[in-house]
Chain A
């Protein structure tokens, strides 16, 4: 039944791999701006390059899309970005994982406020279905060609997208008996 891999098995550490030999050069994506954040490789493709970047990385051995989330940079517009990357209000952050090669890479895509439409990567990584729905639900970013883009955490008829920075906290009164008012 349950097999056992002994303690002598391969134990590779991510930090042991120098940055330039990492994902970007493996996948032939050397022209995409990249940085290192706390020892983790981050790629900054343009929105138009997003899909091909993810495809190239998947073909280079990143088998799993571990995480996909969005960030609203409304109040932190001047964040540090590599040269050549124009800051936009939203960012889609995708964390990919290569199980065989034991490494991670992160992709940050700038998404403009006026047109928050991002191509879905469901066809490449079906496991992103829930994650993209969550990003849509909480940030209002649409994923083009996602098969079932409905709200997932909030009720269907909820107004607004709660994790946006201009969605204030405490606008729905909480009905504690003796609460004097909003905090």
Chain B
């Protein structure tokens, strides 16, 4: 395939009559074996993956997950590219599909277009700077990234953050979950040709982002949750802002119910489309709404509570069928549950410090710097050199809007992580695409890709 393409690149650059630049460019971007190959060039094991047969019996037999038997003539199939610039792929996701007519026979996601080496970068940044780096991974849920990073660092230092910091973190991440899910509803509506949903979703998200801007100074990539607490206390009058959000959103959810949930076209597009059962979802390590929609009541907030989730009252939303409609319903109702948690956060927000008063971990209050030389030194040290973290390794996980977001952190005792690895839920969830897409139509593929909710910043890191 690459040879054919190379031959068709004409030497268009006048300063490069032999077309060497063009050829080099092709050679650099050519991904060869990463792509979906013709059936003749594909091994049986690879073919099984691309067809979505993942579950295996101990004897080496292959179970077809959906028992979908698609009839096709060998010479009538074609391989097409979807993405990386396709608007329905939510970023630069590229999916190669083998089609027969409009039916998808095989598929393979090709990722890496947004890879910026953030795990390598993290090894060059101090623990103080680290949150700025990780917040850029999942750009729709930046606070969750900061949270899992901070929890990992705090576990290694052995710091206990004050109660107020814990509850602020919970408030902010739940608001973030709402904004992320609302954003998903918007793009999902767009993919299913409901353009008004797109506008409505962005409208709701805007409310939450305005509050984030007021609190953290930025709408995205906040660097708000830091090791030792949060960067700043909540602004004056935050209760009113938050209450106006949680008073507005549920009524808007009812509007969505009216517009999408019971709507015949929407149901036709989503019901029974892209079914994944609990066995396959667990085997594929899918987490978050995909796993819960398939009927597994697994939510880290409930099962392995972090922050103060064991003290608040909320329900875990679980689907039954595991189709695109269930994934939609799970997310829609999770927004309502998040509203419940946010309300409890407002009611029960404890007074006190918003970060741990440890001079080695958090900077001193601004006023202290003017009067104390020592405070100035601590401030300077923290922002230039950071702090040292004891030798060790830890894996922390939180429930991000897309599933289990994990951070594996190795420290060698220096002020920079020796190794930081993020378990990105989108990256793992993308593997469920081949079994979900097989046997469906291209139009269904759009709905299914959207329902998996990949965020490419997190996939490629």
**Nearest opposing residue in chain A for B394, CB measure:** A38
Q: Which residues of B contact A179 (CB under 8 A)?
A: none
Q: How far is the CA of A138 from the CA of B156 in the complex (A)?
A: 25
Say whether, besides A11-B305, A14-B304, A66-B423, A3 and B319 are in contact (CB < 8 Å). yes
Task: Give A104 to B394 CA distance when docked, in angstroms.
Answer: 12
Complex Cα gap A6–B5 (Å): 57
Q: Give 1 or 0 for each of B18-52: 1 = CB within 8 Å of chain A CB.
A: 00000000011111111000000001011011000
Bound Cα distance from A156 to B326, whole angstroms? 37
A171 to chain B, nearest CB (A): 12
The answer to whether B282 and A63 have CB atoms under 8 Å apart is yes
A155 at interface, CB cutoff 8 A:
yes
CB neighbours (8 Å) of A131 from chain B are 428
Check if A102 sits within 8 Å of B285, measured CB to CB. no
Q: Return chain A residues, CB-CB under 8 Å to B196.
A: none
Contact partners of B439 in chain A: CB under 8 A: none
> Given A1-B320, A11-B310, A37-B392, do A153 and B421 touch, yes or no (CB 8 Å)?
no
Let me know if B283 and A106 touch, CB within 8 A: no
List B contacts of A75 (CB < 8 A): 412, 418
Q: A11-B310, A125-B285, A157-B28 are in contact. Are A1 and B329 (CB under 8 A)?
A: yes
B55 and A153 form a contact (CB under 8 A): no
- Which residue of the partner chain, among A40, A72, A147, contacts B49 with CB atoms under 8 Å? A147
Q: When the two chains form the complex, which single residue of A40, A128, A134, A147 contacts B395, counting CB atoms closer than 8 Å?
A: A40
Report B147-162 CB contacts with A as 1/0, cut-off 8 Å. Answer: 0000000011000000
Across the A-B interface, how many residue pairs have beta carbons closer than 8 Å? 170
Tell which of A3, A67, A156 touches B406, judged by Cβ atoms closer than 8 Å.
A67
Contacting residues, chain B, for A80 (C-beta < 8 A): 391
Give bound CA distance, A11 to B423, whole Å. Answer: 24
Give the Cβ gap from A16 to chain B, nearest Cβ, in Å: 11
- Residue contact B282 to A162, C-beta cutoff 8 Å: no
Interface residue A26 (Cβ < 8 Å from any Cβ of B): no
Q: Does B419 have its Cβ within 8 Å of any Cβ on chain A?
A: yes
A38/B45 contact (C-beta < 8 A), A1-B329, A152-B34, A155-B28 known = no
A127 x B285 contact (CB < 8 A): yes
- Is B460's CB under 8 angstroms from A153's CB? yes
Whole-angstrom CA separation of A70 from B295 in the bound complex? 32
Q: Which of A13, A72, A130, A147 contacts B45 (CB 8 A)?
A: A147
Whether a CB of chain B sits under 8 angstroms from the CB of A79 is yes
* Any A CB within 8 A of the CB of B318: yes
Residues of chain A contacted by B49 (CB below 8 angstroms): 126, 129, 147-148
Interface size class of B (residues with CB under 8 A): 35 or more
Stretch in contact with the other chain, from B77-85, B113-121, B183-191: B113-121
Cα distance, A23 to B93, chains bound together (Å): 38
Q: Say if the beta carbon of B314 comes within 8 Å of chain A.
A: yes
A65 in contact with B46 given A2-B326, A156-B30 (CB within 8 Å): no
Q: Are A155 and B285 in contact (CB under 8 A)?
A: no
B395 touches A95 (CB 8 A): yes
Interface size of A by CB at 8 A reads 57
Contact, CB under 8 Å: A1 / B34: no
B392 touches A38 (CB 8 A): yes
Q: How far is the CA of A63 from the CA of B46 in the complex (A)?
A: 23
B279 (CB) vs chain A CBs: closest residue: A63
Tell me the chain B residues, 379-419 only, with Cβ under 8 Å from chain A.
391-395, 397, 404, 406, 408, 410, 412, 418-419
Complex Cα distance, B412 from A72, in Å, reads: 12
Decide if B111 is an interface residue (CB 8 Å cutoff): yes
Q: Tell me if B101 is interfacial: C-beta within 8 Å of chain A.
A: no
Contacts of A126 in B (CB 8 A): 49, 54-56, 283-284, 431
CB distance from B150 to the nearest CB of A (A): 14
Contact of B408 with A151 in the complex, beta carbons under 8 Å: no
Map CB proximity to A onto B261-287 as digits: 1 under 8 Å, 0 otherwise. 000000000000000000000111111
* A70 nearest CB across to chain B (Å): 8
**Residues of B with C-beta under 8 A to A106:** 395
Indicate which residue in A4, A40, A130, A169 contacts B318 across the interface (CB closer than 8 Å): A4
Question: Are the C-beta atoms of A64 and B423 separated by less than 8 Å?
Answer: no
Q: Which residue of A lies closest to B48 (CB)?
A: A147
Contacts A69-B421, A147-B45, A154-B112 given; does A127 touch B412 at CB 8 Å? no
Given A11-B310, A95-B406, A126-B283, A2:B317 Cβ within 8 A = yes
Does B333 touch A at the CB level, under 8 Å?
Answer: yes
Instruction: Judge if A123 is at the interface, Cβ distance under 8 Å.
Output: yes
A60 proximal to B (CB < 8 A):
no
Residues of A within 8 A of B395 (CB): 40, 67, 95, 104, 106
Asked if A2 meets B32 with Cβ closer than 8 Å, knowing A7-B313, A13-B305, the reply is: no
Interchain nearest-CB distance for A128 vs B (Å)? 7
Residue pairs across A and B with Cβ atoms less than 8 A apart, 19 shown, are: A2-B319, A2-B330, A7-B313, A9-B316, A63-B282, A66-B397, A66-B404, A67-B395, A72-B419, A75-B412, A76-B412, A80-B391, A95-B406, A126-B54, A130-B430, A147-B49, A151-B31, A156-B33, A157-B27
Instruction: List 7 additional A-B contacts (Cβ < 8 Å) besides A3-B320, A128-B285, A131-B428.
Output: A1-B319, A11-B303, A63-B282, A75-B412, A127-B285, A148-B49, A163-B119
Residues on A facing B (Cβ under 8 Å)? 1-7, 9, 11-14, 37-38, 40, 42, 63-67, 69, 71-72, 75-76, 79-80, 93, 95, 99, 102, 104, 106, 123, 125-131, 134, 138, 147-148, 150-157, 162-163, 169
By a beta-carbon cutoff of 8 Å, the part of chain B in contact with chain A is 27-34, 43, 45-46, 48-49, 54-56, 111-112, 115, 117, 119-120, 124, 155-156, 282-287, 295-298, 302-305, 310, 313-320, 325-326, 329-330, 333, 391-395, 397, 404, 406, 408, 410, 412, 418-419, 421, 423, 427-428, 430-431, 460-461
Please provide the 6 A-B residue pairs with the shortest distance between their CB atoms, ordered closest to farther. Answer: A127-B285, A147-B45, A126-B54, A67-B423, A69-B421, A76-B412
